[in-house]
Structure 1
Amino acid sequence: MEYTLKNNFLEVRVNSFGSELTGIRDLKTNEEYVWQKDPKFWAKSSPVLFPFVGALKDNKYSYQGKTYDFPFKHGFARDYEHKVSDKGENFIEFIFSSNEETKKLYPFDFNFYMKYILDGRKVKIEYRVENLGNEDMYFSLGAHPAFTAPLKDGMDYSDYYLEFEKEENGDAKVLNGALIAAGKTENIFSGKILKLSKDRFINDAIIFEKTNSNVVYLKNTKNDRKIGFEYDGFRYIAFWNVPGAEYVCFEPWNGISDFDNCSGKLEEKVGIEKIAKKETYKRAIEITIFEV
């Protein structure tokens, strides 16, 4: 079911299936900033990545001596119906909990919350993970919103660029298929500006670790429209699209695909998060649609 938050500036739409953001519309210009799901390229708009980000080596992992088959990329939370746990005039919160089906794939008891808050021209998404078990819980968390580019007719994808708030060295992870190549990086850019082009993501996502910036902007060379994206508290930031599609994904991650030389043990997985029994983990991102 789709739910709507609305104020004098923006209309935000969220689907309870996967707690997926499906729209951010500027009410002044009537422009839609979220990618509107074209199955020809990609049938998602903003899936949540939990309890894993990316792919697992050989589609499996081991934990406490037991091997679990896990054939899904980016976890499973995006593929379940979530329930509304709380709702107010300017926010809505969803909950997804472990069940018999999830525990066959992932042996932890949890509550996973996503809360959307509309504040002026900002959309804040809060994530909360509750460990309901009596042992440490290992997991990853990531966001994956896709923003429309170009936004207006007469513009091209190559008119767009990413601008980091601080200077970056632009060293990105190197992929080995769906996995990360151990010990390898590739310099993509330097400075603050990463230009987009139709073949920019021909080799899949571009992944940066521990950027100097906590904010990155989506801008273009033809007008003053821009989006601000804050991802403080996330170790990785990735960008991606299907070449030829008119969007770019902003993907803050705490977690990453397995490295090609990994042991397969969950406790040793690079980038994995851990919370103790009965602990709660919180992160948030913030999207700003600037007025033009």
Structure 2
Amino acid sequence: MKKHSIENEFLKISVQETGAELCSIQNKENEKEYIWQAEPNIWESHAPNLFPIIGVIKDGAYKYEGKEYSVPKHGFIRHNEKIRLKERSEHQLVFELLYSQETLEMYPFKFDFRIAFTLNRKSLEVEHHIINLDEKPIYFSLGGHPAFNILHFENEKIEDYSLEFDRKMDLDTYLLNEDGLVSSKTKSVLRNDQKIQLTEHIFDNDALIFKNIKSKHVDLISAKNGKILSVAYKDFKNLGIWAKPGAPYVCIEPWLGIADVEGTDQDLKNKEGIVRLAAENEFNANYTINIA
């Protein structure tokens, strides 16, 4: 699979052209790898890009202007072999996917999807840039799904790791039903606290889903060895936290949008969290990964 790499004095990153998927962040000082290496017997991805859908849609279909369309889980950017490197400089890679007849059959809008990866010292900024090329508004969800390695040091276990937000909050996760739809049922995760302790079983019931989260910054921390990295996501309203149960990684997922809710009418215009972008307008949303 074709990859593109850039580096500075601190970090080297690689992005595979298929799906414009971040597949490596290496610390040049200690040679540590921070991105999950897609072990096929556990989870075969690194950091999928989610567009124009997050999660699943009810019955695998949605409606727009009276017509029914089907799009894969998390949309059609991930695994997409039509994405190409558009621009490259010393410290930036920019990838692009333009609408096509193939995308129009799944998603009836003309768009230009661009994603830029920019290195700045020990930070990587991931910038999403959506251009509406249509004569009508377009509707979309947008998100990241980066998976970060844990167990960076000898004799560590999952329970040595936690996620710590920049403020104390009350946080409830929205539970998914057996079809992967967001239910109205919630479960308390934090009460006037800011730290989520990772365990082997924390994701037994799938992802933690936080709507309209007040904190816009979270640290991944080793109890024995301190902060590993942080993710800042000021442009994103929602946050997902997920891993395969017991796996040595954690996904920190900034989202604009959410999987379909149980009671959806399946009309794309009414989808919870959907972004509406007027004709010939542009939209930007960034998140940043900071290596400690």
Please indicate, yes or no, whether the TM-score normalized by the shorter chain is above 0.5: yes
How far apart, in 1, do the equivalents of 2:6 and 2:52 lie? 27
Q: Is the 8 A contact 2:199 2:246 kept in 1?
A: no
Query: Runs in 1 of length 4+ with deviation above 6 angstroms?
Result: none
Selected match of 1:285 from 279, 284, 287: 287
1:104 counterpart SS class: helix
Equivalent residues, number: 288
Give the aligned residue type for 2:25. I
How far apart, in 2, do the equivalents of 1:174 and 1:243 lie? 16
Is the counterpart of residue 161 in structure 1 residue 162 in structure 2?
yes
Deviates more, 1:218-227 or 1:229-238: 218-227
Q: Give TM-score, length-normalised by structure 1.
A: 0.97
1:226 counterpart SS class: strand
Match of 2:152 in 1: 151
Give the aligned residue type for 1:40. N
Is the counterpart of residue 36 in structure 1 residue 37 in structure 2?
yes
How far apart are 1:279 and its partner, in Å?
A: 0.6
Q: Is the 8 A contact 2:132 2:282 kept in 1?
A: yes
Match of 2:203 in 1: 201
Q: Is the 8 A contact 2:129 2:282 kept in 1?
A: yes
Give the aligned residue type for 1:51. P
Match of 1:179 in 2: 181
Give the aligned residue type for 2:273. G
How far apart are 1:233 and its partner, in Å?
A: 1.4
Gaps of 5+ in 2: none
How far apart are 1:158 and its partner, in Å?
A: 1.0
Q: Could you report, residue by residue, the CA deviation over 1:22-78 in whole angstroms, capped at 9, with x for unpaired residues?
A: 0001111111011011111110000000010010000001100111133x1100111
Give the aligned residue type for 1:129. I
Superposed CA RMSD:
0.9
Q: Is the 8 A contact 1:167 1:212 kept in 2?
A: no
1:25 counterpart SS class: strand
How far apart are 1:79 and its partner, in Å?
A: 2.0
How far apart are 1:244 and its partner, in Å?
A: 2.1
How far apart, in 2, do the equivalents of 1:61 and 1:2 lie? 34
How far apart are 1:137 and its partner, in Å?
A: 0.1
Match of 2:114 in 1: 113
How far apart, in 2, do the equivalents of 1:238 and 1:109 lie? 28
Give the aligned residue type for 2:230. G
Match of 2:80 in 1: 80
Q: Give TM-score, length-normalised by structure 2.
A: 0.97
How far apart, in 2, do the equivalents of 1:45 and 1:139 lie? 23
How far apart, in 1, do the equivalents of 2:111 and 2:49 lie? 16
Match of 1:227 in 2: 229
How far apart, in 1, do the equivalents of 2:113 and 2:70 lie? 22
Selected match of 1:256 from 255, 258, 268: 258
Q: Is the 8 A contact 1:139 1:274 kept in 2?
A: yes
How far apart are 1:185 and its partner, in Å?
A: 1.8
How far apart are 1:102 and its partner, in Å?
A: 1.0
How far apart, in 2, do the equivalents of 1:22 and 1:244 lie? 21
Give the aligned residue type for 1:261. G
How far apart, in 1, do the equivalents of 2:169 and 2:240 lie? 14
How far apart are 1:173 and its partner, in Å?
A: 0.8
Q: Could you report, residue by residue, the CA deviation over 1:153-174 in whole angstroms, capped at 9, with x for unpaired residues?
A: 3111110000000111011112
Give the aligned residue type for 2:208. I
Match of 1:9 in 2: 10
Selected match of 1:266 from 268, 272, 284: 268
Match of 1:135 in 2: 136
Gaps of 5+ in 1: none
Give the aligned residue type for 1:115. A
How far apart are 1:225 and its partner, in Å?
A: 3.8
Q: Is the 8 A contact 2:56 2:259 kept in 1?
A: yes
Q: Is the 8 A contact 1:171 1:186 kept in 2?
A: yes
Give the aligned residue type for 2:174. K
How far apart, in 2, do the equivalents of 1:22 and 1:242 lie? 18
1:101 counterpart SS class: helix
1:162 counterpart SS class: strand
How far apart are 1:152 and its partner, in Å?
A: 2.1
Work out the percentage of aligned pairs sharing the same amino acid: 34
2:78 counterpart SS class: helix
Give the aligned residue type for 1:252. P
How far apart, in 1, do the equivalents of 2:216 and 2:35 lie? 21
How far apart are 1:217 and its partner, in Å?
A: 0.4
